[in-house]
Structure formats: structure tokens, C-alpha cells
Amino acid sequence: MNWNLVDKEHEFLKHLEERGRSFNTVKNYKADLQCFNAFLIQKQQHLKLRSFSLQQVQEYAQYLDGKYDSSNSVRRRVQALRLFFDFLLGQKLFPDNPLKKMAVSPKVLDNPGPTPFSDVVRIYQHLKRRLKGSEGLAHLVNARNLVLFHLVYGAGLKVSDLAKLSVGAILKDKGNFRVLVEHPKRDPYSVPLPPAFNKDYLYYRARIQEHLGAGGIDFEELLFNANPYKVLSGGLSPRGTELIFAELRRELKIDLTAKSLRQSCIFKWLNLNINHATIKEWLGVTPAYSLELYLEELKKDPTALVFKDLEASDE
């Protein structure tokens, strides 16, 4: 079978997008594969790849070690290539995955960089003002963004969790709500949402139902994608979520990403003395996942890392 390496890389990246990987994640995988292409060209293989021997695996390891000082950079590029070869293996283009023979150093975790609580409050106040000062489709979009904010800071959801979240995932729970998170390869779990979510969510649900009813369209997803003129579809891609946070970052001139706001949520749970096993369950990670970096940061400066649930007074 004749096939082109670059075409297969494009297929692989498209596959990642279809599985809901974020825009930045796909962009990073693309850069990692381009690093591999540069290695092949340097070795005068000119992107013609029909086999990849153990010797070439070792040469690529040496190439990465000479190119990058950070062990995390090397690890990421190896992992990207390993997943790409798994993709080729699934298409029966390789008999096995040669990258599984390549040992890399353990991952070094970066210290968390949460959005400060004062900025969390500013973001919420800003979103509330935008909602009150808008109408029409812009009003609906601002109502959506408030719900999005609560799902990240209130429940610690990742952008990939948000992408296909359904209306049915918001469950009533003793006067409040929980969000049900489902993954194809692990058991579902639910995370409680703070009381501040209630009013903003119910308002959003009423407005979106009005809008969809008037437009004669419907979808099962909780969030939606829109342009300045109309709602386009149900669901909000990881890229769409990242653009919303980028806009808030520019408007408020603060350091903000979905990841930093999620880390603020983790510190909030630690401040609330939530059991560590429960926090790991809410994050959707294994019991072996360590919160040590967060605990170390709290020990260094506990007064700077005080986070709490938002209340009506924060509006």
C-alpha cells in the first residue's frame, strides 16, 4: 500500500479534533510531528517512512536530547509520536509501535498557576455586567458564558469535558445542581455545583429554550456555538471555549486561561477542606494522582491562595 507520511499526519490531527481534543492540544501535536519530520529530513529520509528500526528510535532519542534542555519537552514529543504510530498501527501500516521501545524520563509537573481570587470575582462581575448590558443574541451568548464560567470555577471541568456536555448532564441535587461527566473509557462521575450556579443556569435555560423555539431548531448539548448573527449548532468546541477565555483575558488585562481557572477551583476545594480522594474523583483522575504541588503552594503562602465559592454579594 502506498501512503504519504504528511497525509497520514494530517489524518491523525483530524482524528484528534474529532475526538474533542482542544485547539492548543492539536497544535502542539502538529509541532511535535514537525519535529519528527525535521529529524527524518536531517537523516535524508525525506519523509518516506515504511519502517522505523530500533537504531532509528535511538537516533531520534539522541536528536531530541540534543535539541531540548527540558525533559518534559522530550517526553511530550515522544508521546505524540507514540500516539501517531498507534494510529498507523490501527491502519495496519506498521506491525508494531517502535516508540514503545524508547524510554523517556518521568514527567516533571509544573507548579500550578491559578487565577487569583480577586480576578475570579472580577471575571464574574464582568460577565454579569455584560449580560445586563446586552440584548438579543449577544444576551444569550453572555448568559452561556456565565454558565461556562461556573462549570470551570464551580466544578473544575476541563475544556474537553465541556465540548459535548448535554442538558441532561445537569442534575438536580437537594435544591442545587450537579454536573454528570461521562468519558468513553472510564466510569461516569458527578461534581456538585455551587449555589451561585442555580440562578444563572435557570436563567440561561429559559433564554435558550425561548431562542430555539422561536428559531425552530433544537439540540441536546448544554452549550452552543454561534457567530454574531445566529446560533450555529449545539456544543462548544475546546477551541471555542479557549477563545472565550482569551477575550476575557484581553478585556480585563489579566492572566487567565481555562486551565488557570480550573486550578483556582482545585485550591478552592482544598480551602474548603474537601477530602483529597473526593477532589480526585471530581477531577476525573486516578487515586494515584498527587495533589502535592497544590499543597506545597498552599504551605508557602496560604493567605494568597484563599479561594471560596462565589455568592450573590460577589455580583
- 3-class DSSP state of 89: helix
Strand partners, 179: 170, 191
Task: Give pLDDT tens digits for 44-98.
Answer: 665 566 677 777 778 888 888 888 777 777 888 888 888 888 888 888 888 888 7
Which residues belong to CATH 1.10.443.10 in the chain? Answer: 117-314
Instruction: Say how many C-beta atoms besides its own lie within 10 A of residue 18's C-beta.
Output: 8
Report yes or no: 98 and 53 within 8 Å, Cβ to Cβ.
yes
End-to-end CA distance of the chain: 62
Which pLDDT score is estimated for 44? 65
Of 285 and 109, more confident: 285
The answer to whether residue 42 scores a pLDDT higher than 90 is no
Task: Note the CATH number of domain 5-101.
Answer: 1.10.150.130
Strand partners, 181: 189
Task: Note the CATH number of domain 117-314.
Answer: 1.10.443.10
User: Residue 200: what are its φ and ψ, rounded to 5°?
Assistant: -65, -35
pLDDT band for 103, please (50, 70, 90 cuts).
low
pTM exceeding the 0.95 threshold for the entire prediction: no
The answer to whether residue 34 scores a pLDDT higher than 80 is yes
Which pLDDT score is estimated for 212? 85
Report yes or no: 22 and 239 within 8 Å, Cβ to Cβ.
yes
Task: Give pLDDT tens digits for 211-258.
Answer: 888 777 788 999 999 998 899 889 998 889 999 999 999 999 999 999
Q: What average pLDDT does the segment 187-216 reach?
A: 91
Which residues belong to CATH 1.10.150.130 in the chain? Answer: 5-101
